[in-house]
Amino acid sequence: MHSFPRTRPRRNRVDGWTRRMVAENHLTVNDLIWPIFAVEGVNQRQPIGSMPGVERLSLDLLVPAVAEARDLGIPCVALFPVLPFDRKDPEGRESGNPDNLMCQAIRAIKREVPDIGILGDVALDPYTSHGHDGVVKDGYVLNEETVQALVLQALVQADAGCDIVAPSDMMDGRIGAIRDALEAKGHTLTRICAYAAKYASAFYGPFRDAVQTGGLLKGDKKTYQMDPANSDEALREVGLDIAEGADMVMVKPGLPYLDIIRRVKEEFRVPTFAYHVSGEYAMLKAASANGWLNYEAALLETLLGFKRAGTDAILTYGAVDAARLLRAAGQ
Ligand code: PBG
């Protein structure tokens, strides 16, 4: 006798309204953090070859772009400075200058677009002449000397009005040192987003083009960024950063590390961000430029995947594109 399935999962997929009603995860504009690159000068709009659609902007153009992001409902931007080579040195001293490009950008955004959050990257690589995220001696990035510089950098950013300081360097003990310094200076509400599980990844290549450190960098960052082979170690790093006073933690890169996001979220239940990094964005753009996939659909599917894995917010170069798509779809 012919038998029919009683349970047909396809019933709940049969029309749009049912699919909407049973959807388990949702991407909204509130999940998006937009990374942007600032350059000195005026009227500067510099395309980045390996990141189609992304530009380095001088502050007169960057501030209106941030206002547009705010108008779309994007809650936060992540700021990265791009410095001319003559402002770089082996110690990255410009990072502690209270009038550096980063602080100028923070002040300009806070003045003109006060109702958007600013996440300030705290790291030495845009400022060092060798492209490493710290002070190098005999080929090794020194931990304590670097942490001291990071503390100063975080303080000048907080003084300028930065809402969230985000150390992306992977030195040991930097979250605690920055937290103590912020408290001591009265910045009790400045949040710290720790790049807690940051891997030594091949997917950062286009970012290094964007901040013009790729050509400077000798060697790799494997003595401070994590080994892609490791997962328990990510939990250890996240645990340390939370204990030292981090308010949010980040996993980076994104797609190849969704398992880490899931483990972090399940273990710690703290705000957990993911960085959909430059190489991941470049892959989508390159494939779509060849007509091999649809950028918009693949972007939204990717970002939804982050939500499914347990991510609270996603740093993505596609934030504005995604915000527009979500708005057009009435979401
Ligand atoms: C370095 C930093 C990197 C990124 C953000 N901060 C690159 C690196 O570690 O070399 C990469 C972001 C991206 O690829 O989009 N402090």
Residue 206 has a CB neighbour count (10 Å cut-off) of 23
Report pLDDT digits (tens) over 244-293: 999 999 999 999 999 999 999 999 999 999 999 999 999 999 999 999 99
Distance of CA 150 to the CA centre of its chain: 17
| Cα 148 to ligand 1 centroid, rounded to whole Å | 20
Number of domains in the chain: 1
Whether residue 110 lies in the annotated active site: no
pLDDT for 1 equals: 64
Residue 191 tokens, joined: 């949040």
Q: Residue 44 Cα, ligand 1 centroid: separation in angstroms?
A: 22
Q: Look up residue 160 and give its two tokens.
A: 């300028």
Q: What is the CA radius of gyration of the chain?
A: 21
Query: Which residues constitute the domain of residue 216?
Result: 24-328
The one catalytic residue among 88, 221, 252, 307: 252
Which ipTM value was assigned to this complex?
0.97
Residue 133 falls within a domain, yes or no?
yes
Q: What is the pLDDT of residues 155-195, one digit of tens each?
A: 999 999 999 999 999 999 999 999 999 999 999 999 999 99
**Confidence class for position 2, pLDDT limits 50, 70, 90:** confident
Residue 3 placed within a domain: no
Confidence of residue 214 (pLDDT cuts 50, 70, 90): confident
For residue range 22-66, what is the model confidence (pLDDT) as tens digits?
Answer: 999 999 999 999 999 999 999 999 999 999 999 999 999 999 999
Supply the residue whose CA is at minimum distance from atom 11 of ligand 1.
204
Chain-centroid distance, C-alpha 109: 18
Question: For the domain that residue 33 is a member of, what is the CATH number?
Answer: 3.20.20.70
Classify residue 5: in a domain, yes or no: no
Q: Is 116 within a domain? A: yes
CA 231, CA 7: separation in Å to the nearest integer? 38
Residue 113 in any domain: the answer is yes
Burial class (CB in 10 A: 0-12, 13-18, 19+), 87: middle
253 touches 279 (CB < 8 A): yes
For the cut 70, the answer to whether the pLDDT of residue 226 exceeds it is yes
The answer as to whether 19 is a domain residue is: no
Q: Give the position, in ligand 1's atom list, of the atom nearest the Cα of 198.
A: 9
Q: Is the pTM of this model over 0.90?
A: yes
How far is 182 from 328, CA to CA, in rounded Å?
A: 41
Dihedral of alpha carbons 49, 109, 277, 316, sign: negative
Strand partners, 37: 56, 80
Residue with CA nearest ligand 1 atom 2: 168
Quote the ligand 1 centre to 251 CA distance (angstroms).
12
Mean pLDDT value across residues 129-140: 95
For 91-121, write each residue's pLDDT tens digit.
999 999 999 999 999 999 999 999 999 999 9
The reply to whether 198 belongs to the active site is yes
Q: Is residue 271 part of a domain?
A: yes
Cα 71 to Cα 170: distance, rounded to the nearest angstrom: 34
Measured by CA distance, the residue closest to atom 7 of ligand 1 is 204
